[in-house]
Structure 1
Amino acid sequence: MTNLFFYGTLRYQPLLELVLSEPGVELDTVSAELPDHTVRAVANQPFPMVVPASGKRAQGVLVRGLTASQIARLNYYEGGFDYDLRPMTVILEDGSAAEAQVYFPQEGLWTPGGTWDLESWAAQWGALTLHAAAEVMAFYGRLTPAEIARSFRAIRVRAAARLAAAQRPANPGRDVSVDVVVENHHRAYVNYFGVDEMDLRHRRNDGSMSDSLNRRALMTGQASVVLPYDPVRDRVLIVEQFRAPVFMIGDPAPWMWEAVAGMIDPGETPEQAARRELLEEAHLEARKLEQAGRAYASSGSSTEFVHLFVALADILAETDAGGLASEGEDIRSHILSFDALMNLIDTQQIKDLPLVSLANWLARHRDRLRA
Structure 2
Amino acid sequence: MAALFLAGPLRHAPLLAVILGKAATLSPATAAGRSGQLVDAPGHFGLLRKASGRVEGSALRDATPEDMARLAFYAKAIGLGRYKLSLIDAAGGGQAETFALRPPFAKGQVWDEAVWLADHAALAVETAVEVMALYGQTPPACLSARIGPMMVRAASRLRAQADQAPAAVRRGPGQVTVQSRRQPYANFFAVEEYDLSFRRFDGAMSPVITRAAFVSADAVTVLPYDPQRDRVLLVEQMRAGPFSRGDANPWQLEAIAGRIDPGETPEDCARREAVEEAGLSLGALLPVAAYYPSPGAKTEFIYSYVALTDLPDGVAGVFGVEGEAEDIRGHLLGFDQAMALVGSGEVQNAPLLLTLLWLQRERTRLRS
Q: CA deviation at 1:145?
A: 2.6
- Identify if the C-alpha distance between structure 1 residues 239 and 192 changes in structure 2 by more than 3 Å, giving closer, same or farther: same
Q: Secondary structure at the match of 2:331?
A: strand
**Which residue of 2 is the match for residue 114 of structure 1?**
109
Aligned residues: CA RMSD: 2.1
Quote the Cα distance in structure 2 between the aligned partners of 1:180 and 1:224: 29
Deviations 1:137-192 (A, max 9, x none): 12223333332122222211211211221221463663545x43333333333221
What TM-score comes out, normalization by structure 2 length? 0.92
Quote the Cα distance in structure 2 between the aligned partners of 1:189 and 1:281: 29
Quote the Cα distance in structure 2 between the aligned partners of 1:65 and 1:204: 45
Q: CA deviation at 1:324?
A: 1.5
Unaligned runs of 5+ in 1: none
What TM-score comes out, normalization by structure 1 length? 0.91
Quote the Cα distance in structure 1 between the aligned partners of 2:309 and 2:325: 26
**Which residue of 2 is the match for residue 150 of structure 1?**
145
Q: Secondary structure at the match of 2:153?
A: helix
**Which residue of 2 is the match for residue 55 of structure 1?**
52
**Which residue of 2 is the match for residue 271 of structure 1?**
267
Q: Does 1:352 align with 2:364?
A: no
Q: Does 1:17 align with 2:14?
A: no
Quote the Cα distance in structure 2 between the aligned partners of 1:344 and 1:119: 52
One-letter amino acid of the counterpart of residue 156, structure 2: A
- Conservation of the 8 A alpha-carbon contact between 1:282 and 1:318: yes
Q: CA deviation at 1:274?
A: 0.6
Count of residues paired in the alignment? 364
**Identity across matched positions, percent:** 38
- Identify if the C-alpha distance between structure 1 residues 342 and 8 changes in structure 2 by more than 3 Å, giving closer, same or farther: same
Question: How does 1:1-371 map onto structure 2 within 5 Å?
Answer: 1-21=1-21, 27-93=24-90, 96-109=92-105, 111-167=106-162, 168-169=164-165, 171=167, 174-176=171-173, 179-316=175-312, 317-320=315-318, 322-371=319-368
Deviations 1:279-332 (A, max 9, x none): 111110111111111111111111111111001111231221x22222232212
- Identify if the C-alpha distance between structure 1 residues 254 and 357 changes in structure 2 by more than 3 Å, giving closer, same or farther: same
Q: CA deviation at 1:65?
A: 3.8
- Conservation of the 8 A alpha-carbon contact between 1:7 and 1:50: no
Q: Secondary structure at the match of 1:265?
A: coil
Quote the Cα distance in structure 1 between the aligned partners of 2:284 and 2:239: 29
Q: CA deviation at 1:44?
A: 3.9
Deviates more, 1:127-136 or 1:63-72: 63-72
Quote the Cα distance in structure 1 between the aligned partners of 2:156 and 2:12: 22
Q: Secondary structure at the match of 2:241?
A: helix
- Conservation of the 8 A alpha-carbon contact between 1:217 and 1:302: yes
Q: CA deviation at 1:104?
A: 4.0
Q: Secondary structure at the match of 2:201?
A: coil
Deviates more, 1:208-217 or 1:264-273: 208-217
Unaligned runs of 5+ in 2: none
